[in-house]
Amino acid sequence: MTLKYLDHVNLRTGRLDELRRFYGEVLGLREGPRPDFTFGGAWFYLGDRPVVHLVEVSDTPDAPTPRIEHFAFMAEDLPAFREALEKAEINYNANIIPGFGWTQLFLRDPDGNKVEVTFQETQSNFNI
């Protein structure tokens, strides 16, 4: 067996509308078709692939802490993305990877899941 790629991330949420806005408006993923499940949710696409699956659940305060540390997207146009984060008032931490020419931005979605967005741009392209 050979793994080919990460297919999708499935997130359970009691804040479906907030996560829809985050993954659609802030990250720029396109909401698209999903199977007619018996529960609410949404699928967000990167190109023709549904990469983020949201599953609507009751939001219970005693729900277990998520076990996922983070998931990541490779992206382009760091200045435009930073502008979108500032407009949406979303805090983030930036990290430059020496020797790779990558800049990572770490942020949290409305449910607290850590999302990494990586750019193949270095600090010479912008100010952190």
CATH 3.30.413.10 fits 1-59, yes or no: no
Of residues 1 and 128, which shows the higher confidence score? 1
pLDDT mean across residues, the chain: 86
Give the residue-averaged pLDDT of 60-85: 81
CATH for 69-128, among 3.40.50.10860, 3.40.50.2300, 1.10.150.170, 3.10.180.10?
Answer: 3.10.180.10
Q: Where are the domains of the chain?
A: 1-59, 69-128
Asked whether residue 85 carries a pLDDT value surpassing 90, the answer given is yes
Please give the pLDDT value at position 115.
92
DSSP for the chain, please give it: --------EEEEES-HHHHHHIIIIIS-PEEE-----SS-EEEEEETTEEEEEEEE----TTPPPP----EEEEES-HHHHHHHHHHTT--EEEEEETTTTEEEEEEE-TT--EEEEEES--GGGS--
